Amino acid sequence: MGEEGILLLITIEGIDGSGKSTLVSALRESLKDLDPVFTREPGSTWVGDVVRRAIAERVDPVTEALLFVADHAAHLEAVVRPALDGERMVISDRYTDSRYAYQGVMLEERIPDPLGWLRALHNGWTVVPDRTFLLFIPVDEAIKRLPGDKRREHFEDGPFLEKVQGNYLSLAEAEPARFVLVDALLPADEIHRFVERGIRELARQPRSRRRR
Ligand code: TYD
């Protein structure tokens, strides 16, 4: 493969209620010319159904973390690698940073170094994104934006999301070249234009200059 072209893995991250879904549907429309593969975690393969059941039944955090990692492995093999191998751009709504941020909190009481444990689980086989857009929003505002039924899910209580967002920010601070912080309080169309511009700029860069 040459040094030019679109081979790119882009991820969109943020706490529940940060506006990811709105952004992703707008990108779906506006990036059609680049022909990206839109995908998501959890749930892009049947393994995701198991993960959703585990969330609903509130299994213990270690089981839950391992299921999310299994979902990631299946997602990589079924969707991400084939798309990248076919020279397609991939845009994933949530990816490994969701595990680092969410399971990092869920595992706090169970494992001495949750982030280290989670990183070790992914090392050697995962694909690191080229760029990650992190939607940042005050937690009370995010909760206000959630539909009623979502607000009741166990992932979505305030103190928990504060910690998740804290983890996201630490991840972004540790890898400033990969993360782009997006102010999720901006109007949806401004967020969309900003992220779309970022993706197009990245797609124009020679591959050798991108982070891999
Ligand atoms: P998702 O279906 O993306 O929720 P939403 O439609 O509300 O964005 O994800 C379900 C929940 O799973 C969400 O609260 C984030 C959480 N999650 C993790 O805890 N770990 C992970 O690795 C992933 C991918 C998601």
**Could you state, in order of their start, the residue ranges of all structural domains in the chain?**
9-204
Task: Give distance in angstroms: CA of 23 to centre of ligand 1.
Answer: 16
pTM as predicted: 0.93
pLDDT tens for each residue of 146-196: 887 666 565 658 999 999 999 999 999 999 999 999 999 999 999 999 999
Percent of the chain with pLDDT over 90: 81
Distance between Cα 124 and ligand 1 center (Å)? 23
- Kindly give, in sequence order, each residue whose CB lies less than 8 Å from that of residue 162, ignoring residues fewer than 6 positions away: 139
Q: Which of 21, 39, 52, 102 to mutate to test the pocket of ligand 1 (most atoms within 8 A of CB)?
A: 102
pLDDT for residue 126 is more than 80: yes
Say if residue 209's pLDDT is above 90: no
What is the CATH code of the structural domain delimited by 9-204?
A: 3.40.50.300
Q: Please give the pLDDT value at position 99.
A: 98
Q: Answer yes or no: is the C-beta of 103 below 6 A from any ligand 1 atom.
A: yes
What pLDDT score was predicted for residue 66?
97
Which of 132-158 are b and which e, b meaning 16 or more Cβ less than 10 Å from the residue's Cβ? Answer: bbbbbbebeebbeebeeeeeeeeebee
